[in-house]
Structure 1
Amino acid sequence: MTAPLLVRAARGERTERPPVWLMRQAGRHLPEYRELREEYTFREAIEDPEIAEEITLQPYRRYGVDGVVMFSDILTCLEPLGFDYHIESGVGPVIENPVDGPDDVARRRGDVRDELSFVADLLDRLSESVADEDAVLGFAGGPFTLASYVVAGGVDHRRTAVRTFRARHPDAFLELMERFAGVVAEYLQMQADHGADAVQLFDTYAGVLPPADYEQYVRPLHREILDSVDLPTVEFVRNMGGRLESLAATGADVVGLDWTVDMTRARAELGETPVQGNLDPSLLFAAPETVRDRTAEIIRAAGPEGHILNLGHGVNRDTPIEGVEAFVETAQEWEW
């Protein structure tokens, strides 16, 4: 059986057209999602496999994307390490028991497969629902991004709290990162066992670290996590335009690019390493013709081998349907 288009691109193969999916494609920009969410809290939606499957499949039915990313959240990995959280409207994630100093890092370690079994159940369902030519995608948050939440107690746009914690308590910071890395690796292995065709590691905020700190604290853990999974892997860290070689050195099969990276330059720097990206999400608010033109520029610059078309970050909540349609259709209609 031929591998899904997205998997072939992740392997660096030449594909007849670029596979396409969007980060955060299952979510707030879809009216059917907003209607369904009126009945459930966010935690209820992600922890009920039947509801999560429906939400996952909504963009698949509407747009015909090539990658179906499971509806979940990066913060699920907090649960096996003893952190409780909730999503507060207008605020975002709130950690109910954040790290209270360096002696509070070593929380109890729960069983990942037991505590996050609802994700395994969701992937089992998706494996039955999604056509063989399309890919089921899993994901997890990276150690630094997860640490930034539990140290700050919630959203910290400058990641000041976790950077300060690293400076004051480097040993405790490293222990916290290693504990997250262990949980994330096991979590991704579980996803592989339950039908994921590829997985993405979102350590979105790690790009705020100085290069030396990224190399010392983050990159070795990323490599450890990605090496533990026998599936195509995508590495995504924002604000790494001048350090793409560091992302490739994690051993990821695919380097995710944010919208600040020039695709032509990225291809020159990364050589044969497959890439994913990288339209600016705000461009989906432009006229459909503009969306098509800018998307075509990215596709041409990336070339026919080893490119997964995506945004440079997630879909914004007020994004017009017409913009997403233009983006996806440009890939679907492409011929090399």
Structure 2
Amino acid sequence: MDNTFNDTILKAFRGEPTDHTPVWYMRQAGRSQPEYRKLKEKYSLFEITHQPELCAYVTRLPVENYGVDAAVLYKDIMSPLPALGVDVEIRKGVGPVIHNPITSRQDVENLGEIDPQSDVPYVLDTIRLLTKEQLNVPLIGFSGAPFTLASYMIEGGPSKNYHKTKALMYSDEKTWFLLMDKLASMTITYVKSQIKAGAQAIQIFDSWGGALHAPDYRKYIKPSMDRIFRELKSEGVPLILFGVGARHLIGEWDDLPIDVLGLDWRTSITEARDLGVRKPLQGNLDPAVLLSDWEVIEQRTKAILDEGLSHGPHIFNLGHGVTPEIQPETLKKLTALVHTYSKTN
């Protein structure tokens, strides 16, 4: 491994000039890699994350195989929830399944607090392994945001309409805000422990926040998000916020004390700038494009890079995570294209 540390993406996160557009991919660790698929024949996601050397290997693979400018810690947004008393299982083909969903205020009051050193020591050990011995690029840690976590905890798993979640939010505000407060506290403690262990940037996934219209987001979600980012700001690492289907929330998100705003494929870089965002932007190729011919991939990628170069600063990423069908060779070619095209334009 080249021992020269590549800090290009940290510069871009801070809005500083870079000699090329840096790139990383959400869910780049695992998913489509053959080495990872072989491991998954033997281990579950939680079993991999509980073994630091194995988890570090999976986290490191895309850096070695694709040449990306950052590693992202291999884990799931559900990883800290068992510490709170949430009985969660990652079920193949389904996603997170919660066996004790929240149905009452008592359920919220019964939620515990996380002590990262005793509850998720394997996560912190993985970060230390990677940042002290194995990586020549920054490591991105992450956490789910309160609304996204709450949606799983209340619905009992993935949802298309979030009816139970919204029903609780609208009908019992005291219980809702107690839940938001507990999840915000967990997020802050969990993320701070990742940073202390060595994570050099943090992404908060408010993946399903776009399910709410802006006034509801402003009232029911934004106070906890503002608290999270304000308390993390003093840690001195770049803070990224990402969600899908959230063009209508860009003003709310831009108003938060974040450093980088992540876009899904529905909102272009130019549109975000026209809406007044001046922070560095991250995104935003539709992952489905990577299942098409290379000519289409190249055309779409260059168009996004042109926007980023004209309306920077910009970090290239997908508009959501890598899907299992995407070929590793495609991601390798895409990374090279991002680097070479942005360096020469």
Name 2:255's counterpart in structure 1. 249
Shift of 1:127: 0.2
Are residues 1:236 and 2:242 paired?
yes
Give, in whole Å, the separation in 1 of the partners of 2:133 and 2:263. Answer: 29
The alignment status of 1:37 with 2:40, answered yes or no, reads: yes
Q: Secondary structure at the match of 1:139?
A: strand
Secondary structure of residue in 2 paired with 1:122 = helix
1:75-224 matches, within 5 Å, as 75-106=78-109, 107-132=111-136, 134-224=137-227
Superposed structure 1 runs of 4+ greater than 4 Å apart: none
Partner of 1:59: 62
Q: How does 1:6-45 map to 2 (within 5 A)?
A: 6-45=9-48
Find the counterpart in structure 1 of residue 51 from structure 2.
48
Q: Deviation at 1:220?
A: 1.9
Amino acid paired to 1:238: V
| 1:309 counterpart = 2:312 | no
2:328 match: 321
Q: What is the DSSP-based 3-state SS (H/G/I as helix, E as strand, rest coil) of the residue aligned with 1:75?
A: coil
Letter in 2 for 1:246: E
AA aligned to 1:197 is: Q
Note the C-alpha offset of 1:79: 2.1
SS of residue in 1 equivalent to 2:79: helix
Displacement after TM superposition at 1:130 (Å): 4.3
SS at match of 1:140: strand
Q: TM-score w.r.t. structure 1 length?
A: 0.95
Alpha-carbon distance between aligned partners in 2 of 1:273 and 1:88, rounded to the nearest angstrom: 37
Closer, same or farther in 2 for the Cα pair 1:262/1:113, shift >3 Å?
same
Residues 1:265 and 2:271 are matched in the alignment? yes
Q: Which moved more, 1:123-132 or 1:279-288?
A: 123-132
Deviations 1:13-41 (A, max 9, x none): 12111110000001221111100111112
Closer, same or farther in 2 for the Cα pair 1:109/1:242, shift >3 Å?
Answer: closer
Question: How many Å separate the matches in 1 of 2:104 and 2:190?
Answer: 26
Q: In structure 1, what is the equivalent of residue 286 of structure 2?
A: 280
CA distance in 2 between partners of 1:198 and 1:288 (Å): 31
Distance 1:201 1:110, change over 3 A: closer
Alpha-carbon distance in structure 1 between the residues aligned to 2:195 and 2:322 = 25
Aligned residue identity for 2:257: G
**Aligned AA (2:113):** R
Identify the range of structure 1 (136-145 vs 219-228) with the bigger mean alpha-carbon deviation.
Answer: 219-228
Q: Which amino acid aligns with 1:217?
A: Y
Answer with 320-329 or 164-173: which moved more: 320-329
Q: Secondary structure at the match of 1:18?
A: coil
Q: CA RMSD in A?
A: 1.6
Instruction: Return the letter of the residue paired with 1:285.
Output: L
Q: Deviation per CA, 1:115-173, whole angstroms, max 9, x where unpaired?
A: 011111110011024444x2110000000010001111111122222111112212111
TM-score (norm 2): 0.93
Aligned residues: 335
